C-alpha cells in the first residue's frame, strides 16, 4: 500500500516535488484531474480548483 508522494500531471505527465510546491507553482485540479500550470491554463478559470 504505497501512495504517490509526487503530483503527476495527467495532461503531459510531468511531476513536481510535492503537492504544496505544485500548488504554489500553479498546478490545478480540473474536473478532478491534476494538471500542471501550462496544461491547466488551457481550461477556463471556473473549471480550475486549487488543492
User: What residues line the site for Zn ion (CB under 5 A)?
Assistant: 9, 11-12, 36, 39
Strands, E assignment, the chain? 28-30, 33-35, 48-49
CB of 21 to Zn ion, least distance (A): 15
Q: What angle do CA 20, 46, 28 make, to 5 degrees?
A: 20
Report how far apart the first and last C-alpha atoms of the chain are (Å, whole number): 23
Of 1 and 41, which CB lies nearer to Zn ion in the complex structure?
41
CB of 9 to Zn ion, least distance (A): 3
Of 1 and 45, which CB lies nearer to Zn ion in the complex structure?
45
Amino acid at each position: 500500500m504505497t501512495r504517490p508522494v509526487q503530483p503527476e500531471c495527467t495532461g503531459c505527465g510531468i511531476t513536481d516535488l510535492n503537492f504544496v510546491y505544485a500548488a504554489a507553482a500553479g498546478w490545478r485540479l480540473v474536473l478532478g484531474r491534476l494538471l500542471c500550470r501550462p496544461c491547466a491554463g488551457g481550461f477556463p478559470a471556473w473549471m480550475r480548483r486549487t488543492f
